[in-house]
Amino acid sequence: MAKILIAYGTNSSGTLFASKVLCDFLQSKEHIVDMMEVRLLHPNIIEGYDLIIFGTNTWFYNGSQGQPHIWFFPFEKEFRKLTFNNKKFAILALGDSSYIEFCHSADYLEKMISESGGILTISSLRIDGYFFDEAQNNKRIQDWAAQLSV
């Protein structure tokens, strides 16, 4: 049993719904799971968790495609002030492959984690068009969650 935090940002609720699927699955495996909008999260509480999962959509922001949700930018400023040596992280990214920078938000967050000493326990999950096949994408989320190293 692990203590897991899912911190997410969402515009159209897709990342919220995907995070809820992830949360329910992990709880069914008897993990303690907290879900929180990343805008409400201060990075210093991360130390209290065995695994942190960032959930984000991918969008055009500040003149650039492939950005994480806007809430991650103020969070990142505080996150980078701390060190997370060997702290476990994972990333769930939603995107649309019709854009050039498909799920580049995952790359952005991977770099942020790496530069702060954290480690990814699994390859980031990149979901294309979550709402276009919600049932299949929820299964992908559950299959991915079953492989998480906690």
Q: Would you list the domain boundaries of the chain? A: 3-146
Q: Tell me if 116 sits within 8 A of 83, measured CB to CB.
A: yes
Residues 132-147 have pLDDT tens digits of: 999 999 999 999 999 9
Report the distance separating Cα 44 and Cα 7, nearest Å: 13
Confidence class for position 66, pLDDT limits 50, 70, 90:
confident
Coil, helix or strand at residue 66: strand
Is the CATH number 3.40.50.360 carried by domain 3-146? yes
pLDDT at residue 150 tops 90: no
Beta-sheet pairing, 59-61 with 64-67: antiparallel
SS3 55: strand
- pLDDT surpasses 80 at 60: no
The residues pairing with 67 across neighbouring beta strands, listed in sequence order, are 59
- Is 38:75 a contact under the CB 8 Å cutoff? yes
* Token couple for 71: 């809430």
